[in-house]
Amino acid sequence: MQHRLIVVTDRHGCPRPLADQVALALRGGPFALVLRDKDLPWEERHELAAELGLLVAEYGGVLIVADPGAPVAAAHLSAARPVPAPRPVLVGRSVHAGEDIDPDLDYCTYSPVWASDSKPGYGPAIGTAALAGVCAGTPVPVYALGGVNGPDRALAAREAGAAGVAVMGAVMRADDPEHAVRALRGALV
């Protein structure tokens, strides 16, 4: 994947409607957007995916749908979810500390690297030394997830060998998502 920043949606945490939050964030530069919000019925997520997909593509980003209910071009799968058939062009997976990384993936998010405000009590956090070992042990691009709350941690993840970072709260809860994305992207160069 060409993007070093993955933003995961959370419409419940946004200070404004999700599409507006994403539009403001994209002003900070392109990124991969994972449409998560799995509490929505598939039909509603599908409609939201169509709306967000156009918006993200306009800025040079890519839309990835979490655990899709129909064929999509890019899918992000939860840990136990099988790869759909036909296989999407881009397939990523959530991998948690201690789990194996499927070498057939195009990328994975690995968590939790730090304690997360989005999922309090989830862990324990592995830290950057363990992240470095994970990244060195797989050919799959690894995106650090969990507690990446700003550019300092994004830079630390890159220095540990991560292909990039995945964030939720740092952008979805930001009053100024454009600035948040710009700062994260600046640290990920």
Helices (H) and strands (E) in the chain, counts: 6, 8
- What CA–CA distance (Å, rounded) separates 16 from 96? 30
* pTM, entire model: 0.96
State the pLDDT at residue 79: 87
Contact in structure between 125 and 146 (CB atoms under 8 Å): yes
State the pLDDT at residue 103: 95
- What CA–CA distance (Å, rounded) separates 49 from 36? 10
Q: Which domain holds residue 177?
A: 5-187
Residue 70: count of CB within 10 angstroms of its CB: 11
C-alpha dist (Å) from residue 37 to 33, 139, 162, 168 = 12, 29, 25, 11
CATH number at residue 95: 3.20.20.70
- Taking only the tens of pLDDT, the chain with its 189 residues reads 899 999 999 999 999 999 999 999 999 999 999 999 999 999 999 999 999 999 999 999 999 999 998 889 999 999 889 999 899 999 999 999 889 999 999 999 999 999 887 777 677 899 999 999 999 999 999 999 999 999 999 999 999 999 999 999 999 999 999 999 999 999 998
Contacts of 80 (CB under 8 A, 6+ apart): none
The domain tally of the chain equals 1
State the pLDDT at residue 124: 86
Determine the residue type at 50.
A
Place of tokens 């419409």: 11
Determine the residue type at 174.
A
- Find how far residue 122's CA is from the centre of its chain: 17
Closest to 22 in 3D by CA, of 183, 168, 189? 168
